[in-house]
Amino acid sequence: MKSYQVDENGFYGRFGGSYIPEILYKTVENLKENYLPIIESEEFQAEYRQLLRDYVGRPSPLYYAKRMSERYGCKLFLKREDLNHTGAHKINNAIGQILIAKKMGKTRIVAETGAGQHGVATATVCALMDMPCRVYMGALDVQRQRPNVERMKMLGAEVFPVESGNKTLKDATSEAIRDWCCHPSDTFYIIGSTVGPHPYPDMVARLQSIISEEIKWQLQDKIGRDYPDYLMACVGGGSNAAGTIYHYIDDERVKLVLGEAGGLGYETAKTAASMTIGTVGILHGSRIKLMQTEDGQIIEPYSISAGLDYPGTGPIHCNLHEQGRAMVIPINDDEALRAAFELTRLEGIIPALESSHALAMLPRMKHLFSPDDVVVLTVSGRGDKDMETYLKAFKQFG
């Protein structure tokens, strides 16, 4: 049977792989040999699941959103990753990777962060496990995301502002990789999304797959059937979407719908819709769709949402899109803002701006829904961090 999971060489169709400098070869090989035996071991599973339950607060609820369902003419369930400790799905992955780092005898952690959500999740698990932690963050993002910088510092992490390039996520990621190259034997690089060289996309997808594992039994409990008609999620690098679809990826009864950041419009220069307008290239160790000039220089992305502001998309989703397995919809800033206010007023839930890109697909999809269709949409995070942006938009959308 055809599968959309990773193949034995680390590829998803023509995407993925491991394009790394020679100095990292042994380190990445070592991770490749060890991540599956570790994740599948009884010892890892016991510790990982205990922390997800007692520390993160899982399972996250699958909430039937009655008023939103009425509005969109379907049965809409929200997967509430916004209720996790630290406010988003990122902690599922950070906990898993730090346990893997410990099992592999690593003593130092580095990470990259854009909006600061992955940085906070990593600093949190480093405090928990008593590991030194350095977080690379673009100097511009350090200014824009003050509260998260302060949280990381309080948690004991060293936040390193990156002054190169555009001073945002892409530059922070490049700098984290440079650090890793200098300390390959003692340092573990905790990547925050389904990006980077193989085995990272597969490892991160597995660590986030707890989301779809729970959706299966929660749907069985609620509707007597363990699969939905539609799964919907936003995509930056792709980790919350990968977790949401993991156990359904090869189940063609389930339609997959992904929202990427259109910015001011995918046909403008101000966009981050890399699957819609990108071309194939290599970034941060992986062959993906990315926004680049004809000579392969990265075009700086733009989105109102810092968590979706990345010039590429991970290989899993590039392949699902190219194969026609997933529908990909670019969502513009104003649509995301409207969706955030709608969910807040109809259900009393303030979503993260990233998650609002998933919610904003509902009006686009409404004409395809029938009243019995079961739709599961992942709310990847909560909106506390975005209050300043929401208040600015209040006059127009509130």
Ligand X SMILES: *Cc1c(COP(=O)(O)O)cnc(C)c1O
Interacting residue ranges for ligand X, rule: CB under 6 A? 88, 90, 117, 193, 234-241, 307-308, 352, 354-355, 380-381
Min. distance of Cβ 237 from ligand X in angstroms?
Answer: 4
Name the residue number minimizing CB distance to ligand X: 381
Min. distance of Cβ 355 from ligand X in angstroms?
Answer: 6
Min. distance of Cβ 304 from ligand X in angstroms?
Answer: 13
How many Å apart are CA 126 and CA 132, to the nearest integer? 7
Residue 49: CA count within 13 A, CB half-sphere: 12
Length, in residues, of the chain: 398
CB nearer to ligand X: give 75 or 330: 330
CB nearer to ligand X: give 231 or 241: 241
CB nearer to ligand X: give 228 or 312: 312
Q: 335 φ, ψ to 5°? A: -65, -40
Residue 319: exposed, middle, or buried by beta-carbon count in 10 A (0-12, 13-18, 19+)? buried
Q: Structure tokens of 344?
A: 């807040």
Q: Which of 269, 289, 294, 270 is nearest to 279 (CA)?
A: 289
Q: Considering 212, 274, 305, 380, which one is annotated as catalytic?
A: 380
Residue 26: exposed, middle, or buried by beta-carbon count in 10 A (0-12, 13-18, 19+)? exposed
CB nearer to ligand X: give 251 or 384: 384
Q: Which of 280, 291, 355, 354 is nearest to 315 (CA)?
A: 280
β-sheet bridge partners, residue 137? 113, 161
Catalytic (active site) residue 193: no
Q: Considering 81, 112, 335, 354, which one is annotated as catalytic?
A: 112
Q: Structure tokens of 200?
A: 């990272």
Catalytic (active site) residue 380: yes
Q: Which of 236, 125, 248, 237 is nearest to 190 (CA)?
A: 125
How many Å apart are CA 36 and CA 100, to the nearest integer? 10
Min. distance of Cβ 105 from ligand X in angstroms?
Answer: 27
Residue 97: exposed, middle, or buried by beta-carbon count in 10 A (0-12, 13-18, 19+)? buried
CB nearer to ligand X: give 234 or 340: 234
- Under DSSP, the state recorded for 21 is -
How many Å apart are CA 203 and CA 222, to the nearest integer? 30
Catalytic (active site) residue 366: no
Q: Structure tokens of 305?
A: 């949402």
Q: Considering 90, 106, 167, 289, which one is annotated as catalytic?
A: 90
How many Å apart are CA 325 and CA 206, to the nearest integer? 19
How many Å apart are CA 26 and CA 38, to the nearest integer? 18
State the CB neighbour count (10 A cutoff) for residue 368: 14
Min. distance of Cβ 308 from ligand X in angstroms?
Answer: 6
Give 353's contacts (C-beta < 8 A, 6+ positions apart): 304, 305, 306, 307, 336, 340, 383, 386, 389
Amino acid at 7: D
* Active site residue ranges: 90, 112, 380
